[in-house]
Amino acid sequence: MTIGRHRPTQLIIDQAAIYQNIATEKARLKPGTELFQVVKANGYGHGITQVARTAEKAGATGFCVAILDEALTLRDAGFTQPILVLGITDPKYADLMASRHISATVGSLEWLQTATQVIKVPHQLTVHLGLDTGMGRIGFQHPAELETAVKYLIASEQLEFEGIFTHFATADAADTAYFEQQVSRWQAFMAVLPEKPKYVHVSNSATSLWHEVCNGNMIRYGVAAYGLNPSGTELTAPFDLHPAMSLTSELVFVKQLPAGRSVSYGATYTAKADECIATLPIGYADGYERRLQGFHVIVDGHFCEIVGRVCMDQLMIRLPHEYPVGTPVTLVGEDHGLTISLQDVADYCQTIHYEIACGFTSRVPRVYR
């Protein structure tokens, strides 16, 4: 998608906030515990390589991604740290992963068997075994399956047993009953290991924030690095998280709308009195959700309602009085003592802030400060 560099809409990424969120968490970790920064989905919308460089400076010793192409992006950008692909990659790419020193997540013996037939380079493929303790997504489901796979892995000359992990489904919830069930299943899996690999990790942001006793010797630090509470509003983080993303634009058209006239597709908003209506150059093609009709933005210290349906490339707001074209607008962030957070946007859309942050498209330029 073309980047919109010649319009005033932009995402502003505060690199100092990301640095502080990572450094603060790293300082809380027990000695010997490593922090791998999760930079999947273009760094949760913040920019994969830029976030990785900031994380590196803040003390991250490795990275986690979702797909192989994201790992290759980091390697091509010059990062030499360990990189773990958290999703399942087709074993036909095992040779490529080995040659680029990228670690694979594996959840079946069949994957290991296929990979050994593919690897031809003079390198071993480092493998992390994923365990399904209750997430129901990927990974071994029974200790006996794990035991068989570990024996195969240890005996293989093409493979190296680098890590083992699971993922908790409810680490961000006040009710810990299901979390404790997963911990119990994890312990049953670990009991069949003849010895532990280099990395033993179960903690995402939520687990590390609220269940740090489970951290193992590595954490996968995700959404909290971006200043977002993984629990939303249910649990309070043990330290202040500093949001790194702001979204700004400007008024590009301002008009007086007579009473009785309507705005946008479907004529879902009609002015009850003469009103001042302004247009912003941002829409749902930029990731600003169509369902945000009736929400608000900030203009000069005023919350201004979004009126009419959000269009593909534009949206309209009601101003308290006329402002000139070029007046700044804050859609996410702080301005004049008012704040609109990604959580506020997510709450209005009845979703989570992860989805909002990841949803901003590449048409919106990221500006790093």
Query: What string of pLDDT tens digits covers the 369 residues of the chain?
Result: 899 999 999 999 999 999 999 999 999 999 999 999 999 999 999 999 999 999 999 999 999 999 999 999 999 999 999 999 999 999 999 999 999 999 999 999 999 999 999 998 788 999 999 999 999 999 999 999 999 999 999 999 999 999 999 999 999 999 999 999 999 999 999 999 999 999 999 999 999 999 988 889 999 999 999 999 999 999 999 999 999 999 999 999 999 999 999 999 999 999 999 999 999 999 999 999 999 999 999 999 999 999 999 999 999 999 999 999 999 999 999 999 999 999 999 999 999 999 999 999 999 999 999
Output 70-76 pairs: Cβ under 8 A, ≥24 positions apart: 70/39, 70/40, 71/97, 71/100, 71/102, 72/100, 72/102, 73/48, 73/49, 74/39, 74/48, 74/49, 75/100, 75/101, 75/102
Give the whole-angstrom CA distance, residue 261 versus residue 273.
9
Within the chain, strands assigned E span 10-13, 34-38, 62-65, 83-88, 103-106, 125-131, 159-166, 199-201, 218-221, 245-250, 253-257, 262-263, 269-270, 275-280, 296-299, 302-307, 315-319, 328-335, 338-340, 366-368
Helix (H, G, I), strand (E, B) or coil at 250: strand
Write down the H helix ranges in the chain.
Answer: 15-28, 40-44, 48-58, 68-76, 94-99, 109-118, 143-155, 177-190, 205-210, 342-349, 353-359
> Which residue, among 250, 313, 253, has the nearest Cα to 1 in the 3D structure?
313
- For each of the domains in the chain, give its residue range(s) and CATH number, in order of start: 15-226 (3.20.20.10), 245-368 (2.40.37.10)
> Which residue, among 341, 332, 357, 289, has the nearest Cα to 43 in the 3D structure?
357
26 labelled catalytic: no
Of the residues 19, 40, 226, 284, which is catalytic?
A: 40
Question: What is the per-residue pLDDT for 214?
Answer: 87
Rounded to the nearest angstrom, the gap between the alpha carbon of residue 14 and the centroid of all alpha carbons in its chain is 15
DSSP state of 223: G
Of the residues 57, 92, 151, 265, which is catalytic?
A: 265
Rg of the chain over all Cα atoms, to the nearest angstrom: 24
348 labelled catalytic: no
Give the whole-angstrom CA distance, residue 199 versus residue 216.
8
Strand partners, 277: 255, 318
Report whether 17 contacts 334 (CB < 8 A). no
Give the whole-angstrom CA distance, residue 65 versus residue 51.
12
Question: What is the per-residue pLDDT for 213?
Answer: 87
Neighbours of 326 (CB within 10 A): 10
Give the whole-angstrom CA distance, residue 175 versus residue 179.
8
- In order of 56, 288, 357, the CA distances from 24 in angstroms are 14, 31, 22
Report whether 49 contacts 74 (CB < 8 A). yes
Residues 6+ apart with CB under 8 A from 226: 18, 21, 43, 44, 46, 51, 243, 244, 245, 357
- Residues in binding site: 137, 312
Give the whole-angstrom CA distance, residue 277 versus residue 273.
12
> Which residue, among 293, 342, 345, has the nearest Cα to 315 in the 3D structure?
293
- Residues in binding site for substrate: 137, 312
Strand partners, 220: 36
